[in-house]
Amino acid sequence: MDGHQAVYTTDEYGRPFIILREQAKKTRVHGTEAIKTHILAAKTVSNIIRTSLGPRGLDKILISPDGEITVTNDGATILGQMQVEHPIAKLLVQLSKSQDDEIGDGTTGVVVLAGALLEQSEGLLDRGIHPIRIADGFDRACGIAVKNLERIADRVEYTKEDTSNLLKTAMTSLGSKIVSKEHQQFAQIAVDAVLQVADLDRKDVPFDLIKVDGKVGGSLADTTLIKGVLIDKDMSHPQMPHTVRDARIAILTCPFEPPRPKTKHKLDISSVEEFKKLQSYEKEKFADMIKRVKDSGANLVICQWGFDDEANHLLMQNDLPAVRWVGGPEIELIAIATNGRIVPRFEDLTPEKLGKAGLVREVTFGTTRDKMLVIEECANTRAVTIFVRGSNKMIVDEAKRALHDALCVVRNLVVDNRVVYGGGAADINCAIAVQKAADEIPTIEQYAMRAFASALDCVPLALAENSGLSPIETLAEVKSRQVNEGNSQLGIDCAGRSENDMKKQFVYDPLILKRQQYLLATQLVRAVLKIDDVITAGQADE
């Protein structure tokens, strides 16, 4: 058969049918042509999220297979939820994820830069330059750009009392997010949360002590920072007290139920006496458990497992408020916050193992029956919860993602307090430095270095374009001013304040964020330039 191969087979009922299989697979491309195909795939992904860059960047709606909607302009979220088939596009998705894991912010910028580098390398390939020579030139240029970043970096001084500089950097991060209307308040919350848990002497920020929770209803302005723990549970019995002062908390991972054999067991009850005996045994066990809790001095029980109605009733009668079905991570956070110990057996419960908190209260929302439990004035003041409100689930989720970026930016400044200026100022300055270095190099790598300098311009160009400015004119003007005035703080005025000095606009980026963007993008581009063929495993040419 012409161009096809017929395979005869049978179905599960033995009926024969024919499968036609295309003999000629799609023509595979090799060498430079293959690299160009890969560059096209990467450019497509990069162009999708290019419009999300900067304070005037636009959002994307992502629809999951089951119809759930996500609205975001967070690069890592967009790429993580996009269905990409091309292997090179998948590499870009992993690139944004690695930026997110390492730094937490700058995920859109790193993909835009990688896309621009690949676009530039296409022109070099057309001129007959070998891919490895291009990659070497990019590496060399990246080294110059990173050195230049460290040269132009400023130190941001801050103390626990004066956090204004940290606040400005957090506001830069939040300026491009959906919460930008309330970005002053969100930035303040992020700074307060990080400084609450940070160990400034060791420059360490334990992120697991910051919990971000959210509830639909209320506006973004109702978002608060709770110095304690918030759990999405309520008291197990409606008649239990809704507020407990000077709480001594028994944190249990054992259920309120009589001990049973772990294997499958069968109990035959053949008379009323036996049933009554079983009932009195269970009651006795429940009474013993509650006595042990009372004897330890606890006045609140938080249990990882549920308890049946009888145990619940006895707890209520004994004035022991209780919370059930509290998840593992939350149990751990409560134990850390209250300086308590998680107790796996009732026999192990002692007064020393109880957690301590000044106030435990139930909070209710609007007209709904939703209740949450707030544990405040904890023994360990370092655990905090950010409670996000919003008009719908989509906004609450996006606000949580924005807060994550802001928390990461403040964390990065606690670890390393050097910053470069945003608005494309650092990228323009590095482009000028790389261009200057390329002019002094006699080897063929100079072409790749010039291409790297042109690629660095893509971030300020995208910022200008997304802000409704004329991209090339705006960039040319700022670049010439940087060269003539020797001022590395001049960038794109996205906010329309007629002020290009980013130091005066307080637009900061942590140095480690920008450095990581350059290094990761260059590494990925090097990897892509070295791939000249894609072979699907197990499908050899026929």
Torsion region of 218: left, alpha or beta (phi above 0 gives left; psi -120 to 50 gives alpha): left
Across 383-450, the runs of DSSP E, i.e. the strands, are: 384-390, 418-421
Q: Check 77, 108, 163, 474 and give the catalytic one.
A: 108
- CA separation for the pair 211, 131 (Å, rounded): 46
In this structure, are residues 303 and 214 in contact, taking their beta carbons and an 8 Å threshold?
Answer: no
Cα–chain-centroid distance for residue 419?
Answer: 21
Is residue 405 flagged as an active site residue? yes
In this structure, are residues 81 and 70 in contact, taking their beta carbons and an 8 Å threshold?
Answer: yes
- CA separation for the pair 502, 82 (Å, rounded): 34
Is residue 385 flagged as an active site residue? no
- CA separation for the pair 395, 389 (Å, rounded): 9
Residue type for position 139: D
Cβ within 8 Å of residue 301, ≥6 positions away = 249, 250, 252, 293, 315, 320, 321, 322, 323
Q: Check 72, 77, 107, 172 and give the catalytic one.
A: 107
Q: ∠257-260-261 over CA atoms, to 5°?
A: 160
Look-up of token digits 């637009």? 507
Is residue 533 flagged as an active site residue? no
Residue type for position 215: K
Q: ∠212-217-219 over CA atoms, to 5°?
A: 80
For residue 85, the SS3 value is coil
Within 10 angstroms of residue 54's Cβ, the number of other Cβ atoms is: 25
H or E segment to which residue 121 belongs:
helix 107-126
- CA separation for the pair 234, 249 (Å, rounded): 15
Q: Check 70, 74, 223, 234 and give the catalytic one.
A: 74
- CA separation for the pair 36, 30 (Å, rounded): 10
Q: DSSP letters of 167-198? A: HHHHHHHHTTSTTGGGHHHHHHHHHHHHHHH-
- CA separation for the pair 121, 124 (Å, rounded): 5
In this structure, are residues 223 and 386 in contact, taking their beta carbons and an 8 Å threshold?
Answer: yes
Burial of residue 418 (number of CB atoms within 10 Å: 0-12, 13-18, 19+): middle
In this structure, are residues 113 and 105 in contact, taking their beta carbons and an 8 Å threshold?
Answer: no
- CA separation for the pair 303, 38 (Å, rounded): 54
In this structure, are residues 349 and 297 in contact, taking their beta carbons and an 8 Å threshold?
Answer: no
In this structure, are residues 451 and 120 in contact, taking their beta carbons and an 8 Å threshold?
Answer: yes
Is residue 108 flagged as an active site residue? yes
- CA separation for the pair 108, 75 (Å, rounded): 4
Burial of residue 222 (number of CB atoms within 10 Å: 0-12, 13-18, 19+): middle
Q: Check 105, 139, 234, 405 and give the catalytic one.
A: 405
C-alpha distance across the termini of the chain, in Å: 16
- Among all residues, which ones are annotated catalytic? 74, 107-108, 405
